[in-house]
Amino acid sequence: MRFFYADHVAIYEVIKSSISENNEFKGIIYRNEEVIEAKEAGYITYYATGSTRVAKGDLVFSIDEGANNTKSLKKNNGKIDIKDSAYETIADEVEYYRTNYSDAKFGDTYTFHNDINNMILELNTDALYSNIEEVIKDTGVKNIVIEKAKTTGLISHSTDGLEDITERDISTELFKSKKYNYETNITGELVEKDAPVYKIVNSDEWNIAIKLSKNQYKKLKDKDTIGVSFIKNNLSTVADIKVINNGGDRFAILTLSDYLINFIDDRFVNIQLAFNTATGLKIPNTSIVEKDFYVVPKKCFTQGGNSDSLGLIVKEYKKNGAVKSKFTETDIYAEEDDKYFVDKRLFELGTTVSIPGEKDTYSLNNVDTLQGVYCVNKGYCEFKNIVVKYSSDEYTIVEENSDIRLPIAKYDHIVLDATKDIEDKIIF
């Protein structure tokens, strides 16, 4: 018998979706870097812009001991045609800085200032390269040192003193940035002899090290790959991952082959890792309820006289010693090996049932719980079992097309608040 439920019941429609557990980290980048130093003191002019790839033998920079290059450069400024895309690049950089600025990151202002100056001056690169012979002729060869790339790779005009770090150097102290000394050179600046003027990276493979908590270490130690999202520019990729212990602390090492050029000037990077990602039927956690069931051996079940439905033959013992047997139809909510789960409300604890074809009987004492939701597709609240794949703070992903007896499906309507006593109640 079912009764009407008087109060309003909020309903949720089951959808197919995904849930990811994302954790944010500050990472340290390390890669195969070589720092190139100035052979002489003087005014530097770059012909290869930062964050670009050069081939072995390409002209990278020159140093003019008397600043004549700089003077010649000024003479040529009116001849340079700046592309619209260059203006767009600068505008994008300014907008990113504006939207992400905070007092906590005030130190980034210096880096931003240098980056913009470098961008503006390096718009002249093509013209400088095409006029280098004219510049040398005007200034005198004796005063100019020309430097070409000794190997193929990506170059950066920035250095920070951490170019030599490897996996062995990863430590908690390294994350505190005490050894970090970011410097960048721009065309027209005076550089000292033996000062770093650029670095070159000759491998597309690069690494990010992150520090882990004990719990994070446990979640990641058996993974080979993981999804990575870069907060700075919303790029995403998949990285190889391994966990290590250095100095008693836990770290993860991510190895990537994408986006090296996007982070060639960076030593530290903020990332998100997708620890767990699950796809299936998405339901609110508030819809999930636990329900008690008898766990009964399959051999106890039989079919009714004129029905194909399964049920149990209950034995009722009278005071006069007589025994009465009664067939009770039961819904099967789940099965596990050689057992079925049946609604506990149908029988008293300790009820005796027959085992068809045997003299022995079975007592209903074995109780277990199932997780499920109340489905209202038929106008009343019907419990349906679920198999959980992954849960977040608010939602759970459950298996779709599972082998359970009464599964939920996409577009099912379920009760949003399962704490109410509404099972079998008619709600509309």
Tell me the pLDDT tens digit for each residue of 328-374: 999 899 888 999 999 999 999 999 999 999 989 999 999 999 999 99
Rg of the chain's alpha carbons, rounded to an integer?
35
- Whether the per-residue pLDDT at 256 is higher than 50: the answer is yes
Q: Note whether residue 242 is domain-resident.
A: no
Longest dimension (CA), the chain: 126
Half-sphere CA count of 36, side-chain side, radius 13 A: 20
Across the chain, mean pLDDT equals 85
Domain contains 357: yes
Of 9, 8, 17, 109, nearest to 395 by C-alpha is: 17
What are the phi and psi torsion angles at 307 (to 5°)? Answer: -140, 150
Instruction: Determine which of 40-44, 103-107, 419-423 has the lowest per-residue pLDDT on average.
Output: 103-107
The pLDDT-based confidence of 423 (bands split at 50, 70, 90) is: confident
Average pLDDT over residues 145-170: 94
**Domain-located, residue 142:** no
Domain membership of residue 311 (yes or no) is yes
Q: What is residue 393's predicted lDDT score, i.e. its pLDDT?
A: 86
Q: If you average pLDDT over each of 68-77, 120-129, 348-357, which comes out highest?
A: 348-357
Round to whole Å and give the CA distance between 313 and 302: 8
Is the predicted pLDDT of residue 95 greater than 80, yes or no? no
pLDDT at 107 over 80: no
Domain assignment present for 136: no
Would 140 be classed as within a structural domain?
A: no
Does the residue 115 lie in any domain? no
pLDDT at 106 over 50: no
DSSP state letters, 333-359: -EEETTEEEEEGGGS-TT-EEE-TTSS
Mean local confidence (pLDDT), 388-401:
90
Kindly tell me the burial class for residue 293, based on how many C-beta atoms sit within 10 Å of its own C-beta (0-12, 13-18, 19 or more): buried
Asked if residues 333 and 382 have their Cβ atoms less than 8 Å apart, the reply is no
pLDDT at 104 over 50: no
Q: What domain range is 375 assigned to? A: 289-385
Copy the structure tokens of residue 395.
């939602």
What does the alpha-carbon distance between residue 160 and residue 185 come to, in Å, rounded to a whole number? 12
Is residue 216 predicted with pLDDT exceeding 90? yes
In a domain, 303, yes or no: yes
Whether pLDDT at 77 is above 50: no
pLDDT for res 320 = 81
Task: Specify the pLDDT at position 154.
Answer: 96
Average pLDDT score over residue span 67-90: 54
pLDDT at position 100 over 90? no
pLDDT tens sequence across 264-285:
999 999 999 988 888 999 999 9
* pLDDT at residue number 4: 47
Residue 105 is classified by DSSP as: G
> What is the spatial distance between Cα 383 and Cα 190, in angstroms, rounded to a whole number?
77
pLDDT confidence of residue 299: 96
Count of domains for the chain: 1
Residues paired with residue 43 on neighbouring β-strands, in sequence order? 64, 190
Q: CA nearest 233: which of 261, 274, 197?
A: 261
Residue range 184-199: mean pLDDT, rounded: 93
pLDDT tens digits for 130-150? 556 565 666 555 677 889 999
- Which two structure tokens, joined as six digits, stand for 21? 């557990």
Sign of CA dihedral 215, 219, 222, 223: negative
